[in-house]
């Protein structure tokens, strides 16, 4: 039985203070209470991470703190930049444990099973709710590691029926250094897995707003290790892509990539593969896995806001009024919203639906690594709660 309380089951906080010590203490002043069990945060890479790590550990003694750097933050006021946004979970409603994965390229199914078994033991010991149907996983990965597919597929096998979502850490679009946070330190080349068990209703979801065009591009030359495509339809990749989207090679930039991505059809559904850059040799480097032989389809945007509205409102019909929604939103979606004048409307929608999260370098959903997608979880209010988060 859930205890009677006037406290919400989660608290949210944010700070734009640049000094790490002051920023951490500001978050703590908003989140800390006697039943605080875990803090999940997303922060700008502009912070002094060497100082911010210990500051967060000092601000939340005895509390599990997990998070990552971002390419933009989603706060209680909607889209923001250059700040920290955080969620504090009440241990009476959430049993949460987190693990760090260091060597991503060596991560085996046995490793994954050990990680998940350890996290599940913590959830079972808390005795809040049965694992089945009451547990989800949040994954955060180094967004420049190029190991997301391997780690996610392996974790998915170990998770079984437990739903999973997450995002790849960003660094404010610098594409230089991305970090995940665990045990008081920021780590590169690593990932974290957070297992959340709760008696509250929730729904994990994923959505994108891209629709297929007629143009098909076969990858005829690629390096899967570096996610680089050298040839499309037996032509230099940049030339073939530029022709497919109707621009000159010299015009290819992140704006074109955001508005004209490519997609791969898997199981009857299209999953977006976004381009990161054009290389001097005319090849294309992607944010997601690519390999020789796959068929890519040119994509174009439909309504960005309608797609996320459909999924979040469908989730709310299942779980009721949201306590909080944790969202992982591709930074290219935000760029598109800014380019098309929709950023304010999207930001207002996220604020209204209590979304807290970050802009990512890639999204994760049930073992898949995808791009230009919004993934997340809507968590419903406690039955007896009349307050807000």
Residue-by-residue DSSP string for 113-130: HHHHHHHHHHHHHHTSS-
Q: What is the pLDDT of residue 9?
A: 95
134 Cβ neighbours under 8 A, 6+ residues apart: 128, 197, 198, 199
- Model pLDDT for residues 112-127, shown as the tens digit of each residue: 999 999 999 999 999 9
Instruction: At 222, list the tokens.
Output: 């690629």
Residue 56 has pLDDT above 90, yes or no: yes
In Å, the largest CA–CA distance within the chain is 66
Q: What is the dihedral of CA 241, 242, 246, 250, to 10 degrees?
A: 170
Residue 4 has pLDDT above 60, yes or no: no
Q: What is the pLDDT of residue 6?
A: 47
Q: What is the pLDDT of residue 30?
A: 96
Q: What is the DSSP code (8-state) at residue 227?
A: T
Q: What's the pLDDT band for 383 if we cut at 50, 70, 90?
A: confident
Q: What is the dihedral of CA 254, 255, 256, 262, to 10 degrees?
A: 70
* Distance separating alpha carbons of residues 79 and 61, to the nearest angstrom: 29
Query: What is the pLDDT averaged over residues 237-242?
Result: 97
- Domain 210-301 fold: Elongation Factor Tu (Ef-tu); domain 3 (2.40.30)
H/E stretch holding 334 reads helix 331-339
Q: What's the pLDDT band for 7 if we cut at 50, 70, 90?
A: low
Q: What phi, psi does 354 have (nearest 5°)?
A: 60, 45
253 Cβ neighbours under 8 A, 6+ residues apart: none
- Model pLDDT for residues 165-206, shown as the tens digit of each residue: 999 999 988 888 999 999 999 999 999 999 999 999 999 999
Range(s) of the chain covered by CATH 2.40.30: 210-301
Q: What is the pLDDT of residue 388?
A: 42
**Angle of helix 343-352 versus helix 331-339 axis, rounded to 10:** 130
Percent of the chain with pLDDT over 70: 97
**Angle of helix 304-319 versus helix 343-352 axis, rounded to 10:** 10
């Amino acid at each position: 039985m859930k205890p009677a309380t006037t406290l919400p089951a989660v608290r949210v906080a944010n700070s734009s203070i640049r000094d790490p010590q002051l920023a951490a203490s500001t978050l703590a002043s908003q989140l800390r209470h006697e039943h605080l069990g875990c803090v999940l945060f997303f922060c700008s890479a502009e912070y002094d991470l060497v100082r911010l790590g210990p500051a967060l550990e000092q601000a939340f003694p005895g509390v599990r703190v997990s998070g990552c750097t971002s390419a933009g933050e989603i706060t209680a006021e909607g889209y923001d930049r250059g700040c920290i946004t955080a969620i504090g979970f009440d241990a009476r409603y959430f049993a949460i444990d987190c693990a760090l994965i260091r060597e991503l390229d060596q991560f085996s199914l046995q490793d994954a099973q050990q990680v998940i078994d350890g996290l599940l033991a913590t959830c079972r010991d808390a005795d809040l709710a049965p694992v089945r149907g009451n547990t989800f996983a949040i994954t955060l990965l180094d967004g420049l590691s190029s190991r997301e597919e391997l780690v996610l597929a392996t974790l998915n096998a170990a998770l079984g029926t437990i739903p999973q979502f997450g995002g790849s850490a960003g660094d404010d679009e610098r594409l230089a250094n991305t970090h995940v946070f665990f045990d008081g330190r920021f780590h590169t080349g690593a990932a974290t897995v957070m297992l959340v068990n709760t008696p509250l209703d929730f729904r994990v979801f994923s959505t994108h707003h891209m629709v297929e065009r007629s143009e098909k591009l076969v990858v005829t030359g690629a390096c899967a290790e570096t996610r680089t495509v050298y040839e499309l339809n037996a032509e230099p990749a940049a030339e073939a892509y530029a022709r497919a989207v109707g621009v000159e090679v010299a015009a290819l930039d992140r704006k074109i990539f955001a508005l004209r991505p490519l997609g791969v059809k898997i199981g009857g559904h299209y999953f977006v593969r976004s381009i990161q850059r054009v290389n001097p040799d005319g090849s294309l480097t992607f944010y997601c896995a690519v390999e020789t032989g796959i068929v890519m389809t040119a994509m174009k945007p439909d309504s960005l806001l309608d797609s996320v509205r459909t999924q979040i409102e469908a989730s709310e019909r299942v779980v009721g009024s949201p306590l909080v929604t944790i969202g992982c939103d591709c930074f290219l979606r935000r760029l598109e919203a800014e380019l098309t004048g929709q950023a304010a409307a999207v930001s207002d929608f996220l604020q209204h639906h209590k979304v807290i999260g970050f802009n990512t370098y890639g999204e994760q959903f049930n073992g898949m690594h995808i791009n230009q997608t919004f993934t997340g979880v809507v968590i419903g209010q406690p039955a007896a709660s009349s307050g807000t988060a």
